[in-house]
Amino acid sequence: MTGRAGVRTTVGAVIRVRLPGLVDAYTGGAREVELPAAQSPTVADALAALDARYPGLRFRLVDEQGAIRPHVKLFVDANLVRDLGATLRRGGELMIVGALSGG
């Protein structure tokens, strides 16, 4: 089947995304969502699916050259990733964290 973001998915396969409060304006306060998982899902796939559900969110997290923004950190199953091509495990977890210090 084809998921909302046009990604090939398997029925029942999902990726769990944990969301920080700083994106509440998009998510309505949801802290965790499940997205349909592609056959070999990547972080890019997950963010595309997330953007399909919450339009505009991806650009706030990833710049126009495909780089994760400087104070956004992404963890896949608790491991920090810096590349949108990083793979996700079906049934795995993507955690989005806002990391910033200063006044």
Partner 1 sequence: MATRSKPAGAARKTLLLVATRKGLWTLTGDGPRRSWALAGPHFLGNVVHHAVLDPRDGKTLLAAARTGHLGPTIFRSLDRGRTWKEAVQPPAFREGSGRTVEHTFWLTPGHPSEPGAWFAGTSPQGLFRSTDGGATWTGVAGFNEHPQRKAWCGGDQDGTPDGPKLHSIIVDPRDPAHLYMSMSSGGTFESTTAGADWRPLNGGVKADFLPDPDPEYGHDPHCVRLHPAMPDRLFQQNHCGLFRLDRPAERWTDIGGAMPKSVGAIGFPLVVHPRDPDTLWIFPMDGTKVWPRVAPAGRPAVYRSVNAGRTWQRQATGLPPAQAWWTVKRQAMTVDEGATVGVYFGTTSGEVWGSRDEGRTWKCLARHLPHIYALEAT
Binding residues for partner 1, rule: CB under 8 A, are 22-23, 55-56, 59-67, 69, 71-72, 98-100, 102
Q: Which residues pair with 36 in a beta bridge?
A: 14
As measured in angstroms, the least distance from the Cβ of 25 to partner 1 is 8
Residue closer to partner 1, measured from CB, 37 or 68: 68
Residue closer to partner 1, measured from CB, 11 or 100: 100
